[in-house]
Amino acid sequence: MGLHKPIAHLSRGIRQDFIVVDHICGDPDFEDGGNPLVRNCIMAGRDPILIDTFGCSLMGIDPQEVFYIPMAEKLGSGSMDLEGACIRTIGEEIGEEASGERRFVFVKDAVEEVESCSACYAYLMPALEKLLQEGLLSDLPDKICIGQGWRGKSGKIGVGSCTSGFDFCVKGCPPTDSQIYEELKEYLQSPGS
């Protein structure tokens, strides 16, 4: 059913007046981690929507594209107005700068994700990384589709049973990383793939 609407309503339904964000060593690329970025920072605030909007600004994400944020603002949970925010920095920032070379960035180009479960996506990442290291992703004939949004649809390459209508599909719900790696490798190396 999607998470954005429930998160937006939850933000309205529970009392939040002091939000703490551990920003000491996060991973801006992927929720399961694996590519840490040390920032040595802890953020605290009183407005959950403002905190998330600020987090988006640090990561270069347009908060309007994180749908629960504007939804929650409309419901009255807080404000997205960063210009009107009072932001105080205590101490010096001594963490690493985000580098342009992030480990999972290539995935954005290789994958077409629509409402995928975290487990499915999490298994796909290491499989793709291995294929990338072996030089097999450069010849990808089409994007790899993953997620519940592909159910009942057709396409070329899919991962997970949600894409069972595709020409090639790694079946499983979710399929494991080794299964994805093995089956995609076989597919990419097969003549006419």
Residues binding ligand SF4 (CB under 6 A): 116-117, 119-120, 147-148, 160-162, 173-174
**Toward ligand SF4, which CB reaches closer, 56 or 159?**
159
3-state secondary structure of 172: coil
**Toward ligand SF4, which CB reaches closer, 75 or 117?**
117
Q: How far apart are CA 124 and CA 75, in angstroms?
A: 35
Provide, rounded to whole angstroms, the least separation between the CB of residue 162 and ligand SF4: 3
**Toward ligand SF4, which CB reaches closer, 19 or 114?**
114
H helices present in 60-176, as ranges: 68-74, 106-110, 118-133
Chain residue at closest Cβ approach to ligand SF4: 160
Provide, rounded to whole angstroms, the least separation between the CB of residue 47 and ligand SF4: 33
Q: How far apart are CA 5 and CA 48, in angstroms?
A: 15
Buried residues in 130-166 as b, exposed as e (16+ CB within 10 A): bbbeeebbeebeeebbbbbbbeeeebbbbbbbbbeeb
Provide, rounded to whole angstroms, the least separation between the CB of residue 136 and ligand SF4: 22
Q: How far apart are CA 51 and CA 57, in angstroms?
A: 10
Q: From 156, 154, 130, select the one nearest 143 (Cα to Cα).
A: 156
**Toward ligand SF4, which CB reaches closer, 85 or 119?**
119
**Toward ligand SF4, which CB reaches closer, 54 or 181?**
181
Provide, rounded to whole angstroms, the least separation between the CB of residue 161 and ligand SF4: 4
Provide, rounded to whole angstroms, the least separation between the CB of residue 148 and ligand SF4: 5
